[in-house]
Structure formats: C-alpha cells, structure tokens
Structure 1
Amino acid sequence: MASLKIKNLHKSYSSVEVLKGIDLEIEDGGFLVLVGPSGCGKSTLLNTIAGLEDITSGEILIGGNSVAGLHPSKRDIAMVFQSYALYPNMTVAQNISFGMDIRGIDKAEQKKAIDNVSSILQIGELLDRKPSQLSGGQRQRVAMGRALVRDPQVFLFDEPLSNLDAKLRVDMRTEIKRLHARMGTTIVYVTHDQIEALTLATKIAVLKDGILQQFGTPDEVYNDPKNVFVATFMGSPSMNLIEATVADKGKNLVIEIASTDAGKIELPVKNIASLKDYIGKKVLFGIRPEALTDREGADRTSKQIAHHDCMIEVVEPAGSDTFAVVNLGGKEAIARLRADAKIVAGEHASLAFNMSKAVFFDPETTQRIR
C-alpha cells in the first residue's frame, strides 16, 4: 500500500492542454474516485499515474517517491480496464497467472496466489473456463483477480463497470467496496457515474475541461459544492437551481422567488454574511430534491423549515419515493416526497423547504456564495 500525491500536473498534446494544474493527494489505503463528464481528462490523468502517458510538467509521487520517467512495470501499480482485456484462448487460471509467468514466479507460489484471489472474488469454480464461457460480471472479477495477484501499491480502475447492466453494476460496486475494505489497498477509480463516485470513494475529485473543480469527501462534494457545475453534476436527481432575489426584511434576509401563481414565494435565509452584498440582486438558490419535500417528510432536526403551497405539475411514483415537479421561478424543480405522500398533479400542496440545506451561487461567476 502507498499514498498518492499529484502536484501541479499538466498534460498537453501539441497546443491542446488536457490537464491544467491538477493537485491531489490520497492517503495510504484511500479510495480516490476521478469523476466528470466525457472528455474532462479523468482517463488521461489515470494514464499518467499508470505511466501510459508522459506528463508535460508537474509531479506524481507513489509512496512518497517520484515516478517521473519510470516505466509502467516499475511503478508497482495494477490496472483494471473497462474492456476486461482477457486472453480468449486462456483459461481463467491462466489469465490470472499470466503476469506471474512473465515475472518467473514458481508454480507453487502462483497456485497459492490464484487460490487466494479466487477465494476473495468467489471465482474458484470458474478457473478452468475460457472468457467466452463467462458473464460480464464474471469476466470483470477475473480481470480484478489478475490485478490482485500482483499485490501492488496502487490499484487503478478505468471505468470497470460501464459495460455491465444496471443491476450487475450495483452488485459489482458492492464487491469492489467489500474488496477495498478487506485488502486496504490504495485505489484510484475513474467513472462518469456520480452515484458510483459517491458510493465508493473516500475522496472524490470532480473534473471539468481538465480543471479540478472540487476535491473532498463524498459528503463535502455533495452537501458543500464549490460551484454550479459540482452542484448539478453530483446527485441524482441533480440539485435544483432557482433564480431568486435577496431582500432585506429588517432583522432577517429572505429570498424572493417568482411563482406561477400571483405574487411570489418568500423563504428565510440562513446566516450567510456574504449574502448581504447581494441585497436587491439576483442569486441562484440551490436546494436538493430531498430538502424539498412534503410537510410530514421534512427533517425534524432542522431548525429552518419553511412551508409554502406549490402547484404540483407532475407526479412520478418511484417505489420508495415519490417525485413531484413544481414550477419555481419559471423553472422546473424536483421535490422528493414520501412514497405515500398525498399529492395530485394539477393541485396545490404544502411543501417543506429545508433552508438549512440551501446553498447560493453568484449567477455570473457560478461560484458559491459563502
């Protein structure tokens, strides 16, 4: 196991800069997830850690040692790819032991390693099969087993679950999390799926256009986003962003939101000193669907619950929850209600706004107002 530190990393292809000054650090045994939309640079960053891509400038340290210029085979890392990359003419056992064969490890040691990882990954009964005889989830377990037998300092996962169906992705997420808890090895994991990121990570790095937008724990990234991009990218459904005006009501500040009905909605604002600079100005009011709910479903520990009647435009039952679409400030907002909430499309319902969870952004800079 080893820590990983990335300092002011830049990567360019000719005149195109793909990574723009990335700074990250993950502790020994941590689980770092790189997340962002397609083309944001997350796979390129993973490839620079692996040594598959040269860096333009900056530094990468594994276990406190710089790996600049080191061949991938010398970095003591193991990589699991999206495509599994299994040899079709070899059995599962041969695929797992291939790297050990290349390194000249004796057969007894190989068998011990194969038995160990096949027990961990529950693939013991598959050792004599060929990849064509395996399901997608089984193939991914074999690919993970091949990485595990190397006992590396750092595991690198490049979108390993994207080829699996939805249920199998959930199952494999659990397997990977269980594997990390058992092995305690440092993992760097690339995905475009923010639910995977929130589920697996001890630390999340959110990337956009080669720039690190935010780096922190899943709780920090989800509940304390630094800008509009992070707020809307992380979470499903994503955070509601509603245009509002800050108003001074004597002792307290409120935000005013245009309503589809006559008049406007007024909501109290938690104590955010910088909002005083926005009195009379527009802000973006952010509230997650679970913080906009029916009266009975509101967080009873919160001291800042505001209620308002809203017109319910669409009702979407979802088993354990009911989602409702309402119009706030001329924009659709999603409320997450209890499954048995008594609401009807086309009618008004009293909704609870948990203002202790509200966040605000400058509409011009898109940065968080604190």
Structure 2
Amino acid sequence: MPFLEIDNLQKSFGATKILKGVSLEIEEGGFLVLVGPSGCGKSTLLNTIAGLEPVTGGEIRIAGKRVNDLHPSKRDIAMVFQSYALYPNMTVGQNIAFGMEIRGVPKPERDKAIADVAGLLQIDHLLDRKPSQLSGGQRQRVAMGRALVRKPQVFLFDEPLSNLDAKLRIDMRTEIKRLHQRMGTTIVYVTHDQIEAMTLATRIAVLKDGTLQQYGTPAEIYNNPTNIFVADFMGSPAMNLIPATIGINGKGATVELARDGEKPISLPLGKASDALSPYRGKPVTFGIRPEALTDPDSADRDATAVATADCHIEVVEPAGSDTFAVTNLGGKGVVARLRADAHVQPGTVAPLAFNLTKAVFFDPATEMRIA
C-alpha cells in the first residue's frame, strides 16, 4: 500500500500553471527523488507536500490521510533546506534541540535525542560550536540532525548538497544513503543532479515544465526511457540520440546511420524489427548509451545482438577508468565509452561494437519511445 500519494496535483500562481496534474506514489520507507531541469516544478511539488504552498487542485495523502488543508506543523514531516537554515546565534546542540524545546520535550529526552543523532551523524565533537565555525558539510549534517530528532513520517530534502564542492557532495550522498538504510524513513528528495537521483533513489520522478515525464526505478528510467527528454536528461555522458532510417535487407530490418562522404552504416535489428516495421523507410531517432557503444573487446558477452562497424574517430578523451571516443553518425557527434587502455587515435578509423539489445528508438515527431 502506498504511504505517500500525490493524486493529480495541480498548482498555479495566478494564470501560470506550475504543476499540471502530477500523480505518483511511494511506499513506506521508500526514497523518492524528484529530478528535472530548473523551473520544472520539483521544488514547488516538495513545498506542497510540506504545506508551504497551497495546492490548486488534486490531493496529497500521507499514510492514507488527506493533508491538503493541514498546517505544516500538523503533517509530521521534517524538511532539510538547501541553505541549511541554521540559527547563527545558537550552538550545534541548541540548533538540533530547538524544535524539541518549542514542543515542550523534557530536557533529559532532548539530551538523549541530541546524543543519539550526533553519534549517528558523527558530529558529537561539534555540539558546542556555532554554525560559523563549521564547514559546509558539517552544517549540512547539523541541518539533517535537526530534522532527524523529530522522527517524522516523511523527510523532505530540497537540493541539500548543491552548495557543497564535488568531492564533499559524493561523501554526503553516501552518508544520506547510509542514513536511509539504517532508519528506513520515507524520503522525498529534490535535485537537478541526475547522478544523485540514480544513486539515491528507490523511485525517480522526472519532471519537465510541471508535467511528470516518467516515474519508475532508477534502472527503468535509465534503460527504458519513455521519451527523448528522459533519455537525454538521465545519464552522464548522455544517451547518444542519432537521426537514423529504418531499412530492410534480405535478413530483415536494419537501422541505417549516415556518415559524411561514406556509405551509411547498416546494423541488423533482430527482435526489435517487429515494433519498427511501421517505420521502414522512415526517419527515427536511434538511442544508444555510450557504454553500449564500445571497442569490440569490451562488448557485453551476454548481449544477444552486437554489431560491429568501422567508424572515423574525431576526438579521444582519456578519463582515467575509461576512454571516450567521439565519432560522427547521422550528422551528430556520438560518444563511445571504451576501456582505459583502448588504442584509438583521433583521425583514424576504428571498429566500434554496437550493443543493439540496449538500443532504443523514438519517433522524431512526437519524441516518444517506439521500441
């Protein structure tokens, strides 16, 4: 049974529609990540769950109870903000205890809660310091501690790592995941960083212009994007989206990829050919992730359909654990992910293996998935 339910949620500011009928749900103990570009409505959606913004239409239910009209203090939620929102004149311990003190929690109980949370977040030694004496990562832990002592039904995180440097973001991401595994509390987390979304979530909601584009597990979102926007937004490097044509030869359907001044590459489609039969002779958008386009020695041995073609390598980008090679197909730069010691040079021709079991196809007019 879903624990948090968002049912046809709508939010407008005057005549401007921000959320346009968003529906999703998450089970108790789940980790829901709302992801999308700036202005897509993800923070507005979080604020409506928190009760900081009234809804224009639809319902929000927590544990089966409608909370649309409940004051934020009555929803049994705790929110961690991007800015941390710590009181500068209070110590770390006082910041963590403040909410409990307002609610009249006895001091012995407050002290125990502070000690438990400080130990969990490894900030025991910081309890007497002021926020100005802390690093960004330490402030983030204090903000999380203040939320944790409330033991709410739902935690809300609004881009909590965006103010941290790259390495600290990775470290704090791991801490948040470890915390969720220990506590098992339901979390709704907003980010524009799709790597955060993929690594933290049990479910991801991808938003664009106030509309839910896709909702599913990280694997579903990554491997089976429902449209070109999701395919392009989720993944780093992004999925290659190549203009192509569906052809046919004596053995069945093929995907034809144009090359400048050369004969097109023709790749056999195998099982995908049935779904694509209405598109024979027509343009499609061929989607393949960089890791599914690699050197032949690195191709997935379990893949049922791998085709190899010689490609002109334009750019080579060593990246430590991988080497990225850029070729041109369908008039676009296409990124292949090769092993670190792959021997490729710019300006040469090299064989690349296309894992067609991982390929997806979109209608270029509607931008929706067709196979």
> Normalising by the residue count of structure 1, what TM-score does the alignment of the two structures yield?
0.99
Alignment partners' CA distance in 1, 2:89 and 2:15: 42
2:239 alignment partner in structure 1: 239
Shift of 1:250: 3.4
Shift of 1:269: 1.2
1:195 alignment partner in structure 2: 195
Q: Secondary structure at the match of 2:262?
A: coil
Alignment partners' CA distance in 2, 1:261 and 1:270: 28
Residue 270 to residue 159, structure 1, CA distance change in 2 (3 Å):
farther
Contact 1:259 1:329 in 2 (8 A): yes
Q: Secondary structure at the match of 1:344?
A: coil
> Structure 1 regions of 5+ residues with no counterpart?
none
Structure 2 residue 37 is the aligned partner of structure 1 residue 37:
yes
Alignment partners' CA distance in 1, 2:331 and 2:15: 42
Alignment partners' CA distance in 1, 2:166 and 2:241: 28
In structure 2, what residue type is equivalent to 1:366?
A: E
Alignment partners' CA distance in 2, 1:262 and 1:99: 69
Q: Secondary structure at the match of 2:271?
A: coil
In structure 1, what residue type is equivalent to 2:176?
A: I
> Normalising by the residue count of structure 2, what TM-score does the alignment of the two structures yield?
0.99
Alignment partners' CA distance in 2, 1:108 and 1:74: 24
1:82 alignment partner in structure 2: 82
Q: Which runs of 4+ in 1 moved over 4 A?
A: none
2:256 alignment partner in structure 1: 256
1:50 alignment partner in structure 2: 50
348-357 or 258-267, larger mean C-alpha shift: 258-267
TM-superposition CA deviations, 1:167-223 (whole Å, max 9, x none): 000000000000000000000000000000000000000000000000000000000
1:144 alignment partner in structure 2: 144
1:351 alignment partner in structure 2: 352
1:5 alignment partner in structure 2: 5
| Count of aligned pairs between the two proteins | 369
Alignment partners' CA distance in 2, 1:146 and 1:137: 14
Q: Secondary structure at the match of 2:247?
A: strand
Structure 2 residue 349 is the aligned partner of structure 1 residue 368:
no
In structure 1, what residue type is equivalent to 2:358?
A: K
Alignment partners' CA distance in 1, 2:261 and 2:238: 25
1:102 alignment partner in structure 2: 102
1:267 alignment partner in structure 2: 267
Shift of 1:249: 1.6
Alignment partners' CA distance in 2, 1:254 and 1:75: 55
Alignment partners' CA distance in 1, 2:251 and 2:295: 28
Alignment partners' CA distance in 2, 1:268 and 1:93: 64
2:66 alignment partner in structure 1: 66
Alignment partners' CA distance in 1, 2:369 and 2:108: 58
Pairs within 5 Å for 1:271-310: 271-272=271-272, 273-310=274-311
295-304 or 204-213, larger mean C-alpha shift: 295-304
Shift of 1:262: 1.6
Q: Secondary structure at the match of 2:137?
A: helix
1:165 alignment partner in structure 2: 165
Alignment partners' CA distance in 1, 2:288 and 2:69: 46
2:318 alignment partner in structure 1: 317
Alignment partners' CA distance in 2, 1:259 and 1:26: 46
TM-superposition CA deviations, 1:6-57 (whole Å, max 9, x none): 0000001111110001010000000000000000000000000000000001
Residue 261 to residue 347, structure 1, CA distance change in 2 (3 Å):
farther
Contact 1:316 1:323 in 2 (8 A): yes
Shift of 1:165: 0.2
TM-superposition CA deviations, 1:116-148 (whole Å, max 9, x none): 000110000000000000000000000000000
In structure 1, what residue type is equivalent to 2:71?
A: H
Identity of aligned residues (%): 71
1:21 alignment partner in structure 2: 21
Shift of 1:253: 0.6
Shift of 1:270: 3.7
Contact 1:155 1:185 in 2 (8 A): yes
Contact 1:270 1:356 in 2 (8 A): no
Alignment partners' CA distance in 2, 1:14 and 1:302: 52
Shift of 1:261: 4.4
**RMSD (Å) for aligned C-alpha atoms:** 0.8
Shift of 1:111: 0.4
